[in-house]
Structure 1
């Protein structure tokens, strides 16, 4: 498994399981517009591999899956759009956590969800309240030799051996057949 496969699995886990319904995008240009909301954008900006030892490509890998949820709310006569935007993002955060953590396809291939961080931001600088949820999910999994392309060795054509002997000693006679 690698970061791209993990990202695709998270997209699949989120599809039709949140208020964003099928508006879960990855990879995609990050600009969005009113008809896209609510929507979820998924990317994997960080990938950290920690070796399990020398000579064999084995790693504990932690990939940070960044899930960005976006919504837009307008003020009306009875309440403020900012309140509805924050409540909607809090609900979206819960839906995302449940969809990812409860995904059987994900949990069967990962070691753990190491950490989940989230942040909500609401901007009222335009005519609407643009709200964004930024959630980073650190997912740990194992990567071994099977996850990397096989190393293609160069064929051994010969070996040069030089033996330095002190003066006035018999020369050693060594014969090595490589065939």
Structure 2
């Protein structure tokens, strides 16, 4: 397991399980347009490894997965309710994302815990409609061991020569063990 594999698991958990349907992107350029909404963007910007001891590559790793949800709502005729609709839609999207990720069997099977979940909502009326953005960060903890890193370069063992020390006057005995490759 590593940050890239975790990102792929998150994308799999989200695709088709939120209002964004299949519009779950990673990696992609972050600018989005209204014809893509609602959309979810996934990235893994932070990775923290805490060693479990000396001389062996074993870590408790915490990767921060950043999930950005974007959508747009327009005011209805004779009503100034676009901001309210955007906020409600974003709250629903947040709930859908949390459920999809936390209930993902593959994700919970391969990780230790969801250490922390943080989210913020922002609604902006600077465009034609009310653009809303959810920023959610999940700190996910998992184990990384020697199998997750490249093997250590060693010199292959080709054979062993053994000499047995005998007492004085006894002939020396030699043994040679050739190891198949």
* Cα deviations by residue, 1:42-97 (Å, 9 ceiling, x for unpaired): 00000000000000000000000000000011112234110000000000000000
> In structure 2, what is the Cα distance between the partners aligned to 1:78 and 1:34?
21
Q: CA deviation at 1:149?
A: 0.5
Q: CA deviation at 1:154?
A: 5.4
> In structure 2, what is the Cα distance between the partners aligned to 1:127 and 1:35?
13
Q: Secondary structure at the match of 1:9?
A: helix
Residue in 1 aligned with 2:120?
A: 119
Q: Secondary structure at the match of 1:121?
A: strand
Residue in 2 aligned with 1:4?
A: 4
Q: Secondary structure at the match of 1:68?
A: strand
Q: Which runs of 5+ in 1 are unaligned?
A: 157-179
May I ask how many residue pairs the two structures share in their alignment?
A: 157
Q: Please give the residue correspondences for 1:14-93 in structure 2 after superposition, counting only pairs within 5 Å.
A: 14-76=14-76, 77-93=78-94
Residue in 2 aligned with 1:177?
A: none
> In structure 2, what is the Cα distance between the partners aligned to 1:102 and 1:74?
32
> In structure 2, what is the Cα distance between the partners aligned to 1:98 and 1:7?
16
Aligned residues: CA RMSD: 1.4
